[in-house]
Chains A and B, each alone.
Chain A
């Protein structure tokens, strides 16, 4: 009995002692989180002596529930940028401590007072060379079922990307996209609705294209990068590639806030960003990172395709998130 008691006591002491040197990092799982673990968490553990526990996948409902219940077990979370802007407005996030996180080298497009860029990516047009004859040149071809028959795959959830693609294909100039003309976008999407297969996650998008289940689609560039690395016979068009970003945030009331800020500093450093970009094919948000990367990797980044590149407007999306989502899901269910 005494022994058990002593054991419990020792256990308690151990957890209190360990708590000061632990934090929880949450991301989307899969190859992305593996790369984040290797590029950020492991070096951070080595240099700062902080054990980084991995959790996931990111779940906005869970994040809100933790903050509402004042029992926040996540310290750093990888989220989509439009969500981060909205969440900051709703009071769900801690402000970034720029005394700890150096700001000067960060790409201003992908960081703000409540979020530090995690990585940025482009939506690109990818196709299975065995299932498509000819080369689709851009988004317009995805809506041309005569010239390019077959199923096409798009991102299933209401998020920046598909609406813009429909508008671009309908002839809206890139600088006139916002405010989004939803009626026009849905009308355009209606023309190919029966040929759309939706993908809900990165692995699904890879599977659809690699198997030829969908002849072509709108994919994250990192997922196409991984397909090419695996030797899949895929083509890719960077024409009008659309950038969006994931950011790292600290939920309001995070237990290890100070450690979290140090982690953000390490993750957004030139070295951290360079390593992650090399492992994932996503682009660094630190402008100095490219200097530390092999030249052939730099060539595959969205940075190498800025010609005709379009930045999806995260602020617009944060502002209209709910309104667009309501219409989006109603249209899908029709």
Chain B
């Protein structure tokens, strides 16, 4: 008797649980799934049904170069971001809390400043007649202005600056959660600082580096403003090309196809990361 009641309650619970999810599912369906499907549909129907948009994108040297540029920039930005973020995060993790929160404040404040403003600030700094080049020439390090803008260098500097907080914040959480005794133990056992870093600190923070790195990589893939302003036309990235197709050429079929390819690649990368690192949240992720 009581078993039956329990079973019927269990049966009742299942639909109740799903009903509770309904609002969220509707929201995701309406605002994420439907638009993506519409995008896909347009890419194979505009201007005529067929795969000609994909054929045009994949068969053309220019588009291939833009795809390559996009991944190159995203990759370089991710690597540099990790290299810069790790020492900063480590310093934040071990410094006195009061000083650390001050530095945190500065990092977060930069995130709250308008993206366009920050990018323009870099333009002023990096250009041929800019502050950096003038200073370098005044000291005599170079007699010609260095090409710091309208090229890969400019894009990398500008984007790393914007991406840093997204890498630093999760890393600090992870590094703080690592028991300092493990490093002390390593030292006691005769490990050099480098060995302790390589065999303890790095493996323990790797999930966090991978998660942050993937986020930076994926965000970089779709970046528009910074590459458009700090890059040259020969470093054009996919987002800028899509904007051109949609706004200027009104070729929405081609633009949709390019956007869909970017989406598929991003999803594939995400799936790859799930396999490599696992879906578990990194320890202490902020």
16 further interface pairs, Cβ-Cβ under 8 Å (given A59-B247, A61-B250, A333-B66): A61-B246, A61-B248, A62-B247, A64-B252, A156-B233, A197-B150, A198-B233, A211-B127, A213-B129, A322-B251, A325-B248, A329-B62, A329-B236, A330-B61, A332-B233, A333-B69
The residue in chain B whose Cβ has the minimal distance to the Cβ of A151 is B128
Scoring B150, B228, B241, B248 by chain A CB atoms within 10 A of each residue's CB, the highest score goes to B248
Interface status of B244 (Cβ within 8 A of chain A)? yes
Question: How distant is A321 from chain B, measured CB to nearest CB, in Å?
Answer: 8
- Bound together, the chains give a CA A157 to CA B247 distance in angstroms of 12
Query: How far does the alpha carbon of A156 sit from the alpha carbon of B150 in the complex, in Å?
Result: 13
**Would A333 and B62 be within 8 Å (CB), given that A211-B127, A212-B129, A213-B129 are in contact?**
yes
Secondary structure dominating the interface of B:
helix
- In the complex, what's the smallest C-beta–C-beta distance from B175 to chain A, in angstroms? 41
Q: A197-B150, A211-B127 are in contact. Are A332 and B234 (CB under 8 A)?
A: yes
Interface size bracket, B side: 20 to 34
Minimal Cβ-Cβ distance residue in B for A92: B250
Q: A200 — nearest CB in chain B belongs to which residue?
A: B228
Q: A158 at interface (Cβ–Cβ under 8 A)?
A: yes
Instruction: Quote the shortest CB–CB distance from B131 to chain A (angstroms).
Output: 12
Interchain pairs with CB closer than 8 A, number: 53
A157→B228 CA distance, assembly (Å): 12
A60 within 8 Å of B (CB atoms): yes
Q: Which of A196-234 contact B (CB under 8 A)?
A: 197-198, 200, 211-213
Check B249 for interface membership: any CB of A closer than 8 A: yes
Residues of A near any B CB (own CB < 8 A):
59-62, 64, 90, 151, 156-158, 197-198, 200, 211-213, 321-322, 325-326, 329-330, 332-334
Question: How far is B129's CA from A329's CA once the two chains are assembled, in angstroms?
Answer: 28
- Closest chain A residue to B246, Cβ basis: A61
Residues of A within 8 Å of B66, CB to CB, are 333
- Bound-state CA distance A151–B246 (Å) is 31
CA distance A213 to B248 in the complex (A): 27
